[in-house]
Structure 1
Amino acid sequence: MATSTAPPNAGRTGTSYLAGLADGRRVYLAGEPVADLAHDPSTEGMAAFLAELLDEHRPDGELTGPDGHPLAYSLAHSGDEVRARGRAFARIARLSGGLMGRSPDFVATVLTACAGAADHFGPYADHVRAYWRHARAANLLLTHAISDPPADRHLGPGPNGEVQTLRAIRTNDEGVVVRGAKMLATLSPFADDLVVYPFRPLGENETDQALCFAVPVATPGLTLYSRPSYASTPAGDGPLASRFDELDAVCHFDDVLIPWDRVFIHGDVAAANNLRPGTGMTSYAWHQSAVRAWIKAETVYDLADRCAKVSGRDRQPLVRQQLGELGGIVETLRGLVVSAETGTRPDDFGQHVCDPVPLAASGMLNARLYPRAIELLQAIASSGLVMHPVTADEDPGSAGHAFMRTYFTGAGVDGLAHGRLLRAAADLTMNRFGTRQVLYERLFLGPPETFQAKFYDIFAAGRSVDSPVLDGLDG
């Protein structure tokens, strides 16, 4: 792959990104093809936000390092550089309220971990390094596709031995031809490239599934089948969903050619199964997700606090207790990020990373804390979630305008501004967008109980403190 000699991010603007979405990518939304995601009512809000995010990568901004590259794509050589990357994660999360589980900085930092430990990829190490440099210079919007279709997980091969799971079917001088599916590729309709690798451990006889590669979304033979958009019409009736619904999709590879310079693992089961410990990507990914979890909790708290103050419920003792509990959730998740960033250390590959134990604790606790935060928001916003002004009521010519504006008047705001707060709260607590958000956080690291058991191993392995009070009681 040729490495660009242009200055970092040269020409990469929000405008050029939006224009590039009409690149021939095959995206089906609720069974219908989407010709241009930048202008379709179901997708234009998310596309516009991503364009704004690209424009935020200014040379003097919080998202860009001294070398001009995005901090999410930057390896850290000191604790200060780790914390700078964390501040970039926080800035991106605040721009979206933490509501994007696959904001582009997530896979950017995963790819960066792979580049920092590229020797894990053996004969393809230089491919990983070159692709990372290319993605960093272009500030590519990446996401990944790693889960297998559910039929294969439960039913195994079909009557003729066919499987739906993505696999290599042949090679030629140009690259590897792959066939099959990967699923739940969050953000994929809007991404530049997909990074694909296995999620589950592979058996020794599954060498054809031992694959890791990167591929542009607009590649011939690749089709994305997305779930329906949660964006509403008008957008103001779902102010969060219409702006931050990143979409999830099944990716169908119909004999797609992956050029050799985009292939990182091919046929090596050991390299695929040891991808996470072999690259240290977990600390990178968990750092981004822990920051996002903290900022997302802040968003819920701020929305609940504003709803309570506008309605006057902030004077009620019970509501004040609920707001206090929400504040405690925010501070717990923030404190775990601070602890992880304070405990930075060199990893096995010579890069500096966070202490993984607080990051793992954040992921484990957030699976329960975020659903609880939404319960508290529901209780605080109360009946306003069921009945509130809609966008149409903001039109002075509408039948209910004068009545709604008066009926919902709150402390310091008129009824229509109060209604906008309640619509946002309903988006997070009652609508499909909010329900998906809860499920996403609950299962972000897999089944919560399974990860709790895993955290026991992580926590116990990091313990080195004696307990004098207990010493001798068991011996």
Structure 2
Amino acid sequence: MHTIEQLDDGRAVYLNGKLIQVSEIPIFRKTLALNNQYYTLQKTHPAVHTYQENGHNYDIAYKVPRNVADLRQKHQAYQEIAQTNNGMLGRTPDFLATGMGILAERYAFLGHNKWTDFAVNAKHYAEWIKANDIFISHALQNPQLDRTKPINQIPSGYTGVHTVERRADGIVVSGAKMVNTMAPIADDLLIFNPPELLLEKGDTSYAVAFATPLNTPGVKIICRKLLDHPGYTEDDYPLSNALDEIDAYVVFDQVFIPWEKVFVENDTDMSNRFFIESGIFGHTSHQDEVRGITKLEFATSLAIRVAHTLGLDGFLGVQEKLGSLTAHLELIKGTIARSEDEGQLDEFGIYTPNLQALLAVRASLPAFYDEALRVIQHLAAGSMVGVPGFEEFAGDNGPILDQALTTSRADSRERSKLLNLAFDLSSSGFGQRQLMYEYYHGGDPMRIRSKHYLDEDLQAGNAMLDRLLK
């Protein structure tokens, strides 16, 4: 855990065209406080959030699961962390922490070159992260400039991160990554390439995976526009004035990376294999889907609360809409449970969740979440659009508003705050960014679905077909 002032460590963070100090931005401070719940829960609820290994206590995210009970404990910890932010922070420290625990055992495939041993580097880095409980962010998506061309044929030099110099003590890299969530408030940054956009033979200089502190000279964090609303309270904007996960465009300008922090270099095959074969993907997916179901439950609960407060929950048509949301919620919960129950031990003795089940969640949850937001919009409708600023309640019109907006189900301020929450989640810039995040943060939904059908085990179904068609 660190304070906001400790993030003024020389990192180059840019916002609205200015080089800033992280501590100067109020929404960064609020977001960090929520992010730090990961560390707080280790102290307040250690039975769930910590475990012992070789006489030391570690966060449960780092625990290498050996059976279904281990996965279930990690599930509970992920859920409790997500509940502190209503599932709105997708990249809390437990996300990559769980991947580091696995990398520390699945590192050997990375091999070596004449200067360094990539496998040993990965093992030592993962162990260092675990020992010090370092908050790492990651950036894998290359800027979407021209997907019709191989990355090496786009001349800008910023279509990905690539090696520009190779030395006896390390490499020098330049380039950019498109989306780096939480970069301004993380400690370290892990760079690698996404597996769904495979590098080609001519892309070797882009075939890198490495880690570096975020205050490394030459690293620039260029934040997108913030989504909070200065001048309004959290009564007006209960979510967007409480946190912003802060996506950023990250630029590397002749950045030196020592060999001991390099895990892949000049090897397209290894770059394409890194995310999946390291085990990071499967286990971070488990954390991510638990966080996702927490967010879906929050949105579903909000839709039901809006329907009740506005007196709509007695109508059959509304009940049908709400029932669709709760049915989706149960389907996702059941599929995540199945991923745990039907996991399997790999060759390292690591109990890994069923990836087909997790990918089914990833393929379905965005649309279910989208539906929950649309139900909220349709039910709250003009009621949420017409809520006055909360300061009106303390002004001359306060008594009128108290009388006009109070019902038998909620007083004027309770009703207004609920409708503000409905607007913030379903219709504001913050809410639309959250929707976009659910659709794309786990990869292209089209690619997820196409791969899912190719990998599905239909042995029983095909046997029935063959018996009838024989």
TM normalised by structure 2 equals 0.91
Amino acid at match of 1:211: V
- Distance in 2 between residues matched to 1:265 and 1:334, nearest whole Å: 36
Check conservation: 2:174, 2:252, Cα contact below 8 A.
Answer: yes
Match of 1:40 in 2: 25
- Distance in 1 between residues matched to 2:81 and 2:298, nearest whole Å: 13
- Residue 156 of structure 1: how far off its partner (Å): 6.5
- Structure 1 residues 77 and 153, CA, compared in 2 at 3 Å: closer, same or farther? same
Check conservation: 1:69, 1:136, Cα contact below 8 A.
Answer: yes
Match of 1:404 in 2: 401
Classify the secondary structure of the residue corresponding to 2:340.
Answer: helix
Match of 2:302 in 1: 303
- Residue 137 of structure 1: how far off its partner (Å): 2.2
Match of 1:285 in 2: 284
Deviations 1:376-402 (A, max 9, x none): 1112222222111433234x3x23322
Classify the secondary structure of the residue corresponding to 1:19.
Answer: helix
Classify the secondary structure of the residue corresponding to 1:181.
Answer: strand
Residue 53 of structure 1, aligned match among 38, 62, 76 = 38
- Structure 1 residues 173 and 388, CA, compared in 2 at 3 Å: closer, same or farther? same
The aligned length equals 456
Match of 1:78 in 2: 67
Classify the secondary structure of the residue corresponding to 1:218.
Answer: coil
Check conservation: 2:276, 2:282, Cα contact below 8 A.
Answer: no
List aligned pairs for 1:23-172, cutoff 5 A: 23-37=9-23, 39-58=24-43, 60-67=46-53, 68-122=57-111, 123-151=117-145, 153=147, 161=155, 163-164=157-158, 165-172=160-167
- Distance in 2 between residues matched to 1:315 and 1:239, nearest whole Å: 27
- Distance in 1 between residues matched to 2:9 and 2:245, nearest whole Å: 19
TM normalised by structure 1 equals 0.90
Residue 180 of structure 1, aligned match among 175, 184, 188 = 175
- Distance in 1 between residues matched to 2:282 and 2:258, nearest whole Å: 29
Amino acid at match of 2:142: D
- Distance in 1 between residues matched to 2:403 and 2:134, nearest whole Å: 48
Check conservation: 2:210, 2:262, Cα contact below 8 A.
Answer: yes
- Residue 466 of structure 1: how far off its partner (Å): 5.3
Check conservation: 1:329, 1:373, Cα contact below 8 A.
Answer: no
Classify the secondary structure of the residue corresponding to 2:264.
Answer: strand
Match of 2:193 in 1: 198
Check conservation: 2:170, 2:256, Cα contact below 8 A.
Answer: yes
- Distance in 2 between residues matched to 1:117 and 1:155, nearest whole Å: 33
1:422 aligns with 2:387: no
- Provide the aligned C-alpha RMSD in A: 2.2
1:325 aligns with 2:319: no
- Distance in 2 between residues matched to 1:24 and 1:151, nearest whole Å: 30
Classify the secondary structure of the residue corresponding to 2:25.
Answer: coil
Classify the secondary structure of the residue corresponding to 2:242.
Answer: helix
- Distance in 1 between residues matched to 2:162 and 2:421, nearest whole Å: 42
Match of 2:238 in 1: 239
- Distance in 1 between residues matched to 2:441 and 2:342, nearest whole Å: 24
* Comparing 462-471 and 189-198, the one that deviates more: 462-471
Classify the secondary structure of the residue corresponding to 1:148.
Answer: coil
Match of 1:22 in 2: 8
Check conservation: 1:222, 1:253, Cα contact below 8 A.
Answer: yes
Amino acid at match of 2:345: P
- Residue 335 of structure 1: how far off its partner (Å): 0.8
Deviations 1:154-182 (A, max 9, x none): 56689995521211111334321111111
Amino acid at match of 1:261: E
Classify the secondary structure of the residue corresponding to 1:405.
Answer: helix
- Structure 1 residues 419 and 61, CA, compared in 2 at 3 Å: closer, same or farther? farther
Check conservation: 1:389, 1:416, Cα contact below 8 A.
Answer: no
- Distance in 1 between residues matched to 2:152 and 2:356, nearest whole Å: 42
Check conservation: 2:11, 2:214, Cα contact below 8 A.
Answer: yes
Classify the secondary structure of the residue corresponding to 1:465.
Answer: helix
Check conservation: 1:18, 1:51, Cα contact below 8 A.
Answer: no
- Structure 1 residues 399 and 218, CA, compared in 2 at 3 Å: closer, same or farther? farther
- Distance in 1 between residues matched to 2:455 and 2:108, nearest whole Å: 25
- Structure 1 residues 155 and 210, CA, compared in 2 at 3 Å: closer, same or farther? closer
- Residue 66 of structure 1: how far off its partner (Å): 3.6
- Structure 1 residues 116 and 159, CA, compared in 2 at 3 Å: closer, same or farther? closer
- Structure 1 residues 171 and 373, CA, compared in 2 at 3 Å: closer, same or farther? same
- Distance in 2 between residues matched to 1:158 and 1:139, nearest whole Å: 37
- Structure 1 residues 223 and 235, CA, compared in 2 at 3 Å: closer, same or farther? farther
Q: Which runs of 5+ in 1 are unaligned?
A: 1-12
- Residue 362 of structure 1: how far off its partner (Å): 0.4
Check conservation: 1:175, 1:257, Cα contact below 8 A.
Answer: yes
- Residue 61 of structure 1: how far off its partner (Å): 4.8
- Residue 152 of structure 1: how far off its partner (Å): 5.2
Classify the secondary structure of the residue corresponding to 2:320.
Answer: helix
* Comparing 184-193 and 113-122, the one that deviates more: 113-122
- Distance in 2 between residues matched to 1:256 and 1:277, nearest whole Å: 26
Deviations 1:276-328 (A, max 9, x none): 34223332122112212211110001112222222222222222222211111
